[in-house]
Amino acid sequence: MANSAITFDAFGARVTAFRVSRHDEELVDIVLGPAKSRSSDHGWTYFGALIGRVAGRIANARFDLDGVAYELEANDGCNILHGGPNGFSNRIWAWDALSNSAATQARFSLTSGDLDQEFPGEVEVSAHYSWEADKWLELEITATTSKPTPLNLTQHIYWNLGGPDTETIRDHVLQVHADQFLPVHEDLLPTGELRSVGQTPFDFRSPRTIGDCLNSRDPQIAIVKGIDHCWAPNGIGFREVAILSDPNSGRRMSVWTDQSGLQIYTANHLGDGQIGKCDRPYQKHAGIAFETQGFPDALNHPHFPSIIVRPGELYRNRTRFVFTNE
């Protein structure tokens, strides 16, 4: 499904292209993806996709809920990542194209059965995209469950504001409205600490180039070969949490969310032969993902905000990307 600004794929309910213009220029695609229709091939699992049931890692692929121990399907060593080997990013979603006078819209839906990937409860998920060319893209995810279950859904769009001719996002300038971040162990699971960004490479309270952070010798950067960390954005409710800009193209994108966490990932493991759009090989740090979500591994850290949803409750995650030109 496509229009002049956006292209979707029902596999993973993913965004495969988002095109913007600047002044009188032609449309430029600013999201990463495979060269052709290869989104279901190995190595492209999360590009532009919706992630669930639980984004990020769960330690030892298990959790306890209401006195019951649940053993999950591990797909990241002994841990589970992004919902398991057959998570939401690997499903064919149903979709409908919608429209109104203000924006163009699409709605995806998915039913995840009881004990899907060993998670309890039947979950009904709806993902509603709306957009206005050159101005904004919004995603609202809602879900209900038949049994108490963890839910932590997000999107995994890789952005490069420079477009396909820009090889990395190292020269992009980033600002994150957060005083704290979550350091990780060598297995990329949170330590449980909420650490001040002050005097660390993760201090983006004032705008800095991403390359400045990636060049740091800080052990946290070395562990993940870049950035793959969750920030705890300041404030509550729907608010601006980050600003990304590309000085070369003049494009600017602000990120808004109502979530407690902002996982930022700088595509640290690209460069293994993935051929991207325009048949160009992608290299390390070719894009950046802003995964708006709850804290990763919250099930094993009781002091983290809860991600448990119970029958009768509505799970909701709203994210908006706003585009301007500098």
Indicate whether 301 belongs to any domain. Answer: yes
Indicate whether 133 belongs to any domain. Answer: yes
Single pTM value for the model: 0.95
Indicate whether 1 belongs to any domain. Answer: no
DSSP string, 92-139: BPEEEEEE-SS-EEEEEEEEE-TTBTTB-S-EEEEEEEEEETTTEEEE
CATH of the domain at 168: 2.70.98.10
Indicate whether 313 belongs to any domain. Answer: yes
Indicate whether 151 belongs to any domain. Answer: yes
Q: Name the percent of the chain lying above pLDDT 90.
A: 82
- Whether the pLDDT of residue 261 is over 70: the answer is yes
Is 291 a catalytic site residue? yes
Question: Is 30 exposed, middle or buried, given 0-12, 13-18 or 19+ CB atoms closer than 10 A?
Answer: buried
**Residue 226 phi, psi (nearest 5):** 150, -140
Indicate whether 173 belongs to any domain. Answer: yes
pLDDT by residue (tens digit) across 31-64? 998 876 545 555 567 999 999 999 999 999 999 9
Q: Give me the mean pLDDT over the 73-86 stretch.
A: 95
Query: Out of 82, 156, 177, 285, which one is annotated catalytic?
Result: 156
Evaluated on CA atoms 234, 125, 54, 218, the torsion sign reads: negative
Q: What is the pLDDT of residue 34?
A: 82
Q: How far apart are CA 300 and CA 180, in angstroms?
A: 19
Is 124 a catalytic site residue? no
Lookup: tokens for 102: 């203000």
Between 270 and 56, whose confidence is greater? Answer: 56
Q: What is the pLDDT of residue 178?
A: 98
**β-pairing, 6-9 with 14-20?**
antiparallel
- Whether the pLDDT of residue 224 is over 90: the answer is yes
Indicate whether 38 belongs to any domain. Answer: yes
Beta bridge partners of residue 174, listed in sequence order: 208, 244
Q: Give me the mean pLDDT over the 112-129 stretch.
A: 97
Least confident span in 32-36, 209-213, 257-261:
32-36
Q: Give me the mean pLDDT over the 197-220 stretch.
A: 97
Indicate whether 50 belongs to any domain. Answer: yes
Q: How far apart are CA 231 and CA 220, in angstroms?
A: 13
Q: How far apart are CA 140 and CA 240, in angstroms?
A: 16
Total domains in the chain come to 1
Query: Out of 172, 285, 291, 301, which one is annotated catalytic?
Result: 291
Where in the sequence is the domain holding 240, given as residue range(s)? Answer: 6-325
- Whether the pLDDT of residue 101 is over 70: the answer is no
